[in-house]
Amino acid sequence: MFLVDLLFPNRCLECNRIIPSEEVICELCFDQINFTHHHISESNLLTEKCRLLFPIENAFSLMQFEEESTSQKIIHQLKYGSREKIGKIIANWTVEKLDFSDSKPNLLVTVPLHPKKQKERGYNQLHLFGETLSKELKIPIDHHLIKRNFYKKAQAKKSKEQRIFNENLFSVTKNISNQHILLIDDVFTTGNTMSAIAWEILKAGDNKVSVLVMAMD
C-alpha cells in the first residue's frame, strides 16, 4: 500500500497538492467550500423550498452546489469518479454540523438508484454516506424501503406525462407507520425527486419526513 501511495499519491481535487489517502481536499481548499451553515430546523432556505412541495418537518444541506465550485467537484467525484469513500468523508463533515435537538428522526432512508443504473455505476453514492451517518447518529438506515420503478428520467417526458411519471417513479416496499424518516440525497435541485418519494412515504401511513442533502443548488 505504501508503494501505491508513493507511485500514485492522493491529490487535492481543487489544487492538486498531495494529501493523505483518506482525504479528498487539502486544509487550505477545505476553507473554500461554501458551507450553508444550516441548522436542521424550520427556518432555513432548504426547508422553505421543500415546504412548497410537500409537508416537511426539518431540512439540512451541508453545502451550496455551484458550477465549478469545490462542492461540485467533490460530489462529481463521488458519483462519477468511482470514489465511493468520499461519501464517508462528507458524512463526517455533516455529523459535525448536525443538531436535531428535539426532532431527531428514527429512520434514515436513501434515494435509490434503479438497479440497472447501480450496476452501471458499481455502487449507490449515498449508501456509504448514509451508513456512516447511521453509525454516528445511532439511527437505523433502510436502503430498500423505497424502490425506483423506472430507469429513464422524467425530464424526457412532456408536462402532463411527466407529472404522471413522477407520481409513479417511486414506491414504498414495506408497511410503515408512525415513523419520522430522514430522506437523504446528494444534491437538491428542483426537488422533484424528494417530493415524489416524500408523498409516497406520507401516503403509506402516519409518517413525518425530514430531508438531508450533501448540497443544494
Ordered DSSP codes for 84-112: TTHHHHHHHHHHHH---TT---SEEEEPP
| pTM as predicted | 0.88
Q: What is the pLDDT of residue 43?
A: 75
Q: What is the pLDDT of residues 175-188, one digit of tens each?
A: 999 999 999 999 99
Rounded to the nearest 10 degrees, the angle between the axes of helix 86-97 and helix 127-137 is: 40
Please name each of the domains of the chain with its CATH number. 1-32 (no CATH), 35-216 (3.40.50)
Question: Do residues 137 and 95 touch, judged by C-beta distance below 8 A?
Answer: yes
Q: Which parts of the chain register pLDDT below 50?
A: 4, 154-158, 163
pLDDT of res. 8: 73
Tell me the pLDDT tens digit for each residue of 14-36.
999 999 988 999 999 999 999 99
Nine cell digits for residue 97: 454540523
